[in-house]
Amino acid sequence: GAAELGPYRHYMQKEIFEQPRVVGDTLEGVTGIMPELFGDQAFRVFKEIDRVLILACGTSYYAGLTAKYWIESVAKLPVNVEIASEYRYRDSVPHPNTLVVTISQSGETADTLAALKHARSLGMTNTLTICNVSTSAMVRECKLAYITRAGVEVGVASTKAFTTQLAALFLLTLTLAQVNGRLTDEQEANYLKQMRHLPVALSSVLALEPQVIAWAEEFARKENALFLGRGIHYPIALEGALKLKEISYIHAEAYPAGELKHGPLALVTEEMPVVTIAPNDALLEKLKSNMQEVRARGGQLYVFADVDTHITSGEGLHVIRLPEHYGLLSPILHVAALQLLAYHTALARGTDVDKPRNLAKSVTVE
């Protein structure tokens, strides 16, 4: 009811603004990297495995895609990420030394549970879930678990569950790196410091809301949008596009920016807003030339740029500046800005934000 919503108009908005707290809660008590955070048997399991298979649906699948970039880069373990409904029905090549990771807000998604059982039937018994409901079927079915502390998520479009999943997956990345001898004490201390700073960093991204509202009024008049990201922000572009289509019903697609020239560039006209995630990372110069390709076709760029990227507003180029550059944890910050964009665009279009048509919070039947 209204009392629970406090100053917010919808649960989705409230849940977006809870993120600094619940991401903090999810990492609370983590004073060092240790396998036991994932369960009693975690050390033995993590020693045994030499690859990772992530299974999930929807927004949780995009958390998995982000984790692939993290785990391969930091822990140096090969990672496959599969949509649960595909994995459960296809012939795949099982490998016994696999850590099977399911990611699920509810812990009850039928396809993800079936995919888990399918993996187990193929002989992969080292299973871990990142889940928001400690009493769920998923937690009961898996050997290891990390419980996110997002609290109850009411909005059908997932927000705080996603960012807490990312926080947990980053912790998993560091833990696998440590067990693999890939994490120095100094790196551990640095990452822990960055993780502790997340709530403050997230709050300063959420403070950009007024600027995002101004963009949302323009987006509300569009029927299509393109989202671009590269590297760890490609999955975030996917999630931003998913949020926009779920609640505003604007057709949105996401592409890794380097793939523009292989198709989506054909769609770019003055009518096409192109949301670009521009962190200050090794791919920035490449991204800038992708942006130039869009501008040359008259496309309207809406760029979420990190503080020190030197990307400034101009003709056909709109910039919202994120307060910090956040390295590997940057996806957690950039996605919060995209959630606000989807929310305010839907609000301006007058849709039922918390209960989008045809969608359910948790899909427990196939």
Chain positions contacting ligand G6P, by CB under 6 A = 57-60, 104-106, 109, 112, 156, 158, 359, 361-363
Rg (CA), the chain: 20
Characterize the bridge pairing of strands 98-104 and 300-306: unpaired
The SS3 of residue 132 is coil
> What is the smallest separation between the CB atom of 105 and ligand G6P, expressed in angstroms?
4
Residue closer to ligand G6P (CB basis): 59 or 248: 59
CB 5: neighbour CB atoms within 10 A? 13
Is 222 one of the catalytic residues? no
Roughly what angle, to the nearest 10 degrees, separates helices 19-26 and 185-206? 160
User: Which residues lie closer than 8 Å to 196 by C-beta, 6 or more apart?
Assistant: 27
Q: Give the DSSP per-residue string, 303-349.
A: EEEETTS----BTTEEEEEES---GGGHHHHHHHHHHHHHHHHHHHH
Give residue number: closest CB to ligand G6P: 58
Nearer Cβ to ligand G6P (108/259): 108
Q: How far is the CB of 176 from ligand G6P (least distance, A)?
A: 22
Kindly tell me which of 57 and 301 has the beta carbon lying closer to ligand G6P.
57
Residue 169 and residue 70 in contact, taking contact as beta carbons nearer than 8 Å: yes
State in angstroms the smallest separation of the CB of 241 from ligand G6P. Answer: 14
Could you tell me the two tokens for 25?
């809660």
- Report, in Å, the least distance between residue 361 CB and ligand G6P: 6
CA dihedral 176, 181, 184, 185 (to 10 degrees): 70
**Pick 109 or 330: Cβ nearer ligand G6P:** 109
Nearest approach, Cβ of residue 157 and ligand G6P (Å): 6
Helices (H), the chain: 2-5, 11-17, 19-26, 42-48, 58-70, 84-87, 110-121, 137-141, 160-179, 185-206, 209-219, 234-248, 284-296, 330-349
Helix (H, G, I), strand (E, B) or coil at 182: coil
Nearer to ligand G6P, 104 or 178 (CB): 104
Q: Write out the catalytic residue numbers.
A: 361
